[in-house]
Amino acid sequence: MSQGLDKLKHIVVLMMENRSFDHMLGGLKKKNPKINGLNGDESNPDVSGNRVPVAPDATFQGQLDHDPDHHFLGVDLQIFGGAPQGPGRLPNMEGFIQSYATQGAGGNSSHAIMHYFPVEGPTRLTVLQTLATEFAVFNGWFSSIPGPTICNRAFAHYGTSFGNVDMNLFLMPAAKKSKVPSIYERLASNGHTGRLYYFDQSSSTMEIANLLTDQSLFGTFDQFLHDCRSGTLPEYSFVEPNYTDHPGPGGGQMLANDQHPDHHVLAGDNFIATVFNQIRIIPELWESTALLVVYDEHGGLYDHVPPPSCTADGFTASAAATGTGAEFKFDRLGVRVPAILISPYIARGTVVPGAEDAVNGRIFEHASIPATISRHFLDDNDDGTIREQSAETFLDLLGDTLRPDNDCPFFKLKG
């Protein structure tokens, strides 16, 4: 066991909203060729058949005011470029502009789906891109389903979406019926601690509202900050961002920081910095915590890596549910998302190879989260689902060497 793993007491997961790997981190390939980002010549056809290349022209807000499609049918078009259903069709990542054009983004505005954030200049993502180069970035972390938020987030909490590929309200009856407990319940029933910190009560939790009657499983972001400071952080924490612009206490304004289009991307970047800083400034916590920053799904934004096949979930979504005319056996992952693991026991510039490396490549998905928590705190996959049991875990990335304090970044936030 490595020193880093031996010292590990806390795992914190911060799950953001709806951005693809290439959109946020693809430009980093220019700085580090090991990062499987963009060369600059990747392209998609638009509705007229003209090839439109990727461009470092993403903006923080105002460019994606039509929410890109990220439902199963739309994502199928993005991944397979409109190829008809049937055996042998291959994912080519050619349908992103066509898909965005169906969302009311007409003409050249549909090309915005190919834009990504540059790594230099005023529109770079200071926090996310710094963390990706300072700690471990995953080349092969995919959303669990080629579909929307709710079913993808379910994999982080339950290791399954109970056969759902959509936003249906499935977790309440389905979770009860299938007797698959959430990772928080599994921890609690084994004498361990886990908590989901939603931003505030006006934002609440996005996907496990069925558990809200058990208040002990929840906290607010303010409580997260307090728990960090007071040494009472649970072994596992899942942090949710603020999903809406809403009035704050005392007449303030709480800005959405989830990065869901078209919320301001820098608000989310600052939120990531706040979570990171809070852990970073407390030496004992910093040395005993691993922080995973990950996105739930790609939100309809372009990524060049075809999602690989995966272990079937044991469920089948009907043709009517997928909307594609074909059923889905949960045997293919969704589009790739940014994922960064942070700890002072991780060497600077660590790149975890993905599908591009046929020998050493490793594929992660959101079921990797409960799989890792379970393996570390519960000693094995006690009640793990099929997907959880076959998922890669990530704590082996923690090494023996503790980086000196002045070797690790700290973010200076204004205001």
Partner 1 sequence: MSIDVPDFDEKAAYDHDRPISGLIRTQLLHLHQAENLSLPPGRRTGININDLQTERQASEYIQKATVLLHRHGKAQAAKAAAKRPRKTKKVGPKVRAVATKKAAKRRKKPIAKARTGRPAAKRRKSSK
Q: Which is nearer to partner 1, 1 or 47 (CB)?
A: 1
> Which of 119, 129, 44 has its CA nearest to residue 300?
44
Q: Which of 99, 144, 152, 203 binds partner 1 (CB under 8 A)?
A: 203
Backbone phi, psi, residue 149, to 5°: -60, -60
Q: Judged by CB under 8 A, does residue 202 bind partner 1?
A: yes
Torsion sign over Cα 228, 232, 235, 239: negative
Rg of the chain in Å (alpha carbons): 20
The 37-66 site mask, x for binding partner 1 (CB under 8 A), equals -----------------------xx-----
- The minimum distance between CB 246 and partner 1, in angstroms, equals 4
Judged by CB under 8 A, how many residues of this single chain contact partner 1?
70
**Exposed / middle / buried, residue 201 (Cβ in 10 Å: 0-12, 13-18, 19+):** exposed
Q: Judged by CB under 8 A, does residue 150 bind partner 1?
A: yes
- The minimum distance between CB 124 and partner 1, in angstroms, equals 9
Q: Judged by CB under 8 A, does residue 192 bind partner 1?
A: no
- Residues paired with residue 323 on neighbouring β-strands, in sequence order: none
Axis-axis angle for helices 171-178, 149-158 (nearest 10) = 30
**CA distance linking residue 210 with residue 214, whole number of Å:** 9
**CA distance linking residue 289 with residue 324, whole number of Å:** 43
Q: Judged by CB under 8 A, does residue 287 bind partner 1?
A: no
Give residues 204-223 in contact with partner 1 (rule: CB under 8 A). Answer: 204-207, 209-210, 212-215, 218
Secondary structure of 18-40 in the HEC alphabet? CCCHHHHHHHHHHCCCCCCCCCC
Q: Which of 47, 172, 281, 347 binds partner 1 (CB under 8 A)?
A: 172
Q: Judged by CB under 8 A, does residue 409 bind partner 1?
A: yes
Q: Judged by CB under 8 A, does residue 281 bind partner 1?
A: no
Sequence-separated (6 or more) residues with CB below 8 Å from residue 250: none
Do 235 and 194 contact (CB within 8 A), yes or no?
Answer: yes
Q: Judged by CB under 8 A, does residue 375 bind partner 1?
A: yes
Q: Which of 141, 372, 383, 385 binds partner 1 (CB under 8 A)?
A: 372
Axis-axis angle for helices 126-134, 265-280 (nearest 10) = 50
Give residues 333-362 in contact with partner 1 (rule: CB under 8 A). Answer: none
- The minimum distance between CB 275 and partner 1, in angstroms, equals 13
- The minimum distance between CB 122 and partner 1, in angstroms, equals 7
Q: Which is nearer to partner 1, 75 or 305 (CB)?
A: 75
Q: Which is nearer to partner 1, 92 or 172 (CB)?
A: 172
Do 295 and 19 contact (CB within 8 A), yes or no?
Answer: yes
**CA distance linking residue 286 with residue 280, whole number of Å:** 5
Q: Which is nearer to partner 1, 47 or 172 (CB)?
A: 172
- The minimum distance between CB 218 and partner 1, in angstroms, equals 7
Q: Judged by CB under 8 A, does residue 122 bind partner 1?
A: yes
Q: Which is nearer to partner 1, 144 or 270 (CB)?
A: 270
Q: Judged by CB under 8 A, does residue 390 bind partner 1?
A: no
Q: List, as own/partner pairs, every contact residues 95-100 make where C-beta atoms lie below 8 angstroms and the sequence separation is at least 24, other chains included.
A: 95/44, 96/44, 96/300, 96/301, 96/302, 97/44, 97/45, 97/46, 97/47, 97/52, 98/44, 98/45, 98/46, 98/47, 99/68, 99/69, 99/74, 99/75, 99/300, 100/66, 100/68, 100/69, 100/300
Q: Which of 247, 283, 314, 325 binds partner 1 (CB under 8 A)?
A: 247
Q: Which is nearer to partner 1, 93 or 341 (CB)?
A: 341
The 61-100 site mask, x for binding partner 1 (CB under 8 A), equals x-----x---------------------------------
Fill in the DSSP letter of residue 364.
Answer: B
Fill in the DSSP letter of residue 258.
Answer: S
Residues that bind partner 1 (CB under 8 A): 1-2, 5-6, 17, 60-61, 67, 122, 126-127, 130, 148-150, 167, 169, 171-172, 200-207, 209-210, 212-215, 218, 243-247, 253, 255-256, 260, 264, 266-267, 269-270, 273, 372, 375-377, 379-380, 392-396, 406-415
